[in-house]
Chains A and B, each alone.
Chain A
Amino acid sequence: MDIGELFLSALEALSLNKMRTFLAALGIVIGIGAVIALISLGQSGQMSVQSSIQSLGSNLLTVIPGSQRSGGVNTGFGGATSLTYEDAKAIASSPQITTVAAVSPELQRRAQVTTGANNTNTQIIGVTPAYETVHNISLQEGNFISTDNVDSMSKVAVIGPTTASDLFGDGTDPVGQTVRINKIAFRIIGETVSKGGTGFGNQDDLIMVPLTSAQKLLFGVDYISSIAVQAKDANDMTTAQNQIGYFLLARHHLSDPTQADFSIFSQADILGAASQVTGTFTSLLSGIAAISLLVGGIGIMNIMLVTVIERTREIGLRKALGAQANLIVAQFLIESIILTFGGGVLGMILGTTLSYIIAKVISLPFTISLSSIITAFGVSAAIGIVFGWYPARKAANLSPIEALRYE
């Protein structure tokens, strides 16, 4: 009896009891499908967070005010008012700071914005022209805020596409229209190109106005909420961080770095922290996937055990008719290989389709990793084969009399 013959008789045996075959395969399909879908979604989430952090700008350092100890009172992270527009200007013009390409002082607040018909609550950012380069802003129409606008405290605004459609509806050209921010009328002079980010750091739902207008006209403050600094080169990040740090310490008349009333962190820091979060998330999903793999595996194991036990009499008969034990084991082994591989392929298709659909529905980028496919496939195949082989070997080694008597 050659391998082709064995293969055919295994296929025949599988097709004789379609329900049993279907149930066995289903366990494998679900096991593999779930693992692939879960791992793929975890990785998609991670990618999405990384790309939205990267879309904030490249080689970026962020200076935020914070943690000034005055008389033993910690004013809290980011809550201080110790950074000013002048600090930003000084960083940009200082001869000691050699590694900086652009400096963008920013003041961020949320405010109510109205047009004649609509209103929305969105993010208002006071900016200087440097914002455009530092944050990779491109305009689909109109102009960005100019130095003149900043110097003369102009009531002009650049609007993000999401805010534009919230306020004016789709298809209406926002440039030239007027919006009221905190009841003050601003003329829209430009609209940005969508960056496509969602949730965290959405770059499409905002209105940019000249920094001075934001400070004096809208919010009545003289500090800024952050300074974004673009280093000339990715390798200059650490140098830039040090140069800016010591420069600001001196400017704020502080001698000890532990007393600094500001913090500087790089995009890499944010990325690192975010990766850690999403990494945990992926591990969690992988854990769930591993459990579903285990459950799927136990399902495969049970159905294989039951299948073989149910067929003990058949095994006895085959032995009585002259089948050698190793032929019987080979037949059951081939049956379980066909089952696990067939189920595995279906599971791969199911898992991929499922993660594709979910990624589309919750607008994540779709990725699938080879390693997750290999792991899912390998584990279920191993379980299926071992638990197809083991009871078959046991039954094949029974004496034919005992096997035939089995009820």
Chain B
Amino acid sequence: MATIIQASHLGKIYANDSVNTVALEDVSFSVNKGEFVAIMGPSGSGKSTLMHIIGALDKPTSGTYYIEDTEVNKLPENKLAELRNKKIGFVFQAFNLLPRTTALKNVMLPMIYAGIPKAERERRAKEMLTIVGLADRMDHTSSQLSGGQMQRVAIARALAMDPAIILADEPTGNISSVQAGEIMKIFTDLNKKGHTIIMITHEPDIAAYTKRVIQLKDGKLASDQLNGHKFYGHR
């Protein structure tokens, strides 16, 4: 199976005046295509830092990190932006939709930066919104949508560039449990279609939807195991 993420001995130290804070220490793991991984840990365990590194929003201070064949820590800022655009689909806890902008235009946004022509952008955005079940809400702005609907728009946006990884940071943290169930069903369906999904969460019942759970504690990898009783992969 093709390896999508290869992280080796990742470390992150925040230098703040004279005090160095160790956020990550010697974290190694890899993710193959088609996996559905939860990264768990209490607050302060370094899961946000790890997510930023996986998402190419930040660089580790030590270790190496590959997405497919690209060594991310060696890329300049502009190439990182391009990498985020093409390889990573973000789903944030706070949705982060553009205010006063329709669902359709929100989904089109990453495609603008990829230089995709307008007609194609619109066609794909409509397709993605249909996948997440919002075909009838395309012209609604975020203030006209519920939390669950906003998160579905964000998922459609994450899918728009057909990225290698969908990276979700506490995607159910700001919505009701009923809507959370709907969101997790969408993720599960996407994973069945072959999408690779990495999700940060601290809720065990949300992590239960995934196939593999990575536990972090004090910046270190505490455990990395398959979920439940299902046999999965070669590990």
Residues of A within 8 A of B (CB): 1, 5, 9, 16-17, 313-314, 317-327, 399-401, 404
Contacts and interface: CB of A to CB of B under 8 A. Distances in A.
Contacts of A16: 99-101
Contacts of A17: 100
Most A Cβ at <10 Å: residue of B57, B84, B92: B57
B165 to A, nearest CB: 13
Interface in B61-92: 77-78, 81-82, 84-86, 90, 92
A320 B78 contact: no
24 contacts: A1-B113, A5-B112, A16-B99, A16-B101, A313-B96, A314-B98, A317-B98, A320-B96, A321-B84, A322-B81, A322-B82, A322-B84, A322-B86, A322-B110, A322-B113, A322-B161, A323-B85, A324-B78, A324-B81, A325-B81, A326-B78, A401-B57, A401-B58, A404-B92
A321 B84 CA distance: 6
B109 interface: yes
Nearest to B114: A322
B96 A404 contact: yes
Given A1-B115, A16-B101, A320 B109 contact: no
B220 interface: no
A317 B112 contact: no
Contacts of A317: 96, 98
A181 B157 CA distance: 94
Interface in B140-164: 157, 161
Contacts of B157: 321
Interface string B26-50: 0000000000000000000000000
A399 B112 contact: no
A319 B57 CA distance: 9
B52 interface: yes
Interface residues of B, number: 26
B82 A399 contact: no
Contacts of A322: 81-82, 84-86, 110, 113-114, 161
A400 B81 CA distance: 10
A320 B112 contact: no
Contact of B84 (A1, A5, A320, A325): A320
A4 B151 CA distance: 31
Nearest to B169: A404
B55 interface: yes
Interface of A is mostly: helix
Contact of B81 (A5, A313, A323): A323
Given A1-B112, A322-B114, A325-B77, 14 more contacts: A17-B100, A313-B96, A314-B99, A317-B96, A319-B84, A320-B84, A320-B90, A321-B90, A321-B157, A322-B113, A323-B85, A323-B113, A324-B81, A404-B96
A321 B86 CA distance: 9
Nearest to A15: B100
The 4 closest A-B pairs by CB, nearest first: A322-B85, A321-B110, A322-B113, A16-B100
A160 B199 CA distance: 95
B189 to A, nearest CB: 23
A367 to B, nearest CB: 45
Nearest to A326: B78
A292 B110 CA distance: 42
Nearest to B117: A5
Nearest to B101: A16
A399 B84 contact: no
A114 B7 CA distance: 109
Nearest to B157: A321
Contacts of B85: 321-323
Interface string B103-130: 0000001101111000000000000000
Contacts of B57: 320, 399-401
Nearest to A322: B85
A399 B113 CA distance: 18
B87 to A, nearest CB: 9
B126 to A, nearest CB: 19
A325 B113 CA distance: 11
A318 B109 contact: yes
Residue in B82, B98, B114 with the greatest tally of chain A CB atoms within 10 Å: B98
Contacts of A314: 98-99
Nearest to A314: B98
Given A1-B115, A320-B57, A401 B52 contact: yes
Given A399-B58, A401-B58, A404-B92, A321 B113 contact: yes
A319 B81 contact: yes
Contacts of A404: 92, 96
Nearest to B100: A16
Contacts of A401: 52, 57-58
A329 to B, nearest CB: 13
A324 B98 contact: no
Contacts of B114: 322
B82 A325 contact: no
A212 to B, nearest CB: 86
A5 B118 CA distance: 9
Contacts of B90: 320-321
B96 A327 contact: no
A327 B113 contact: yes
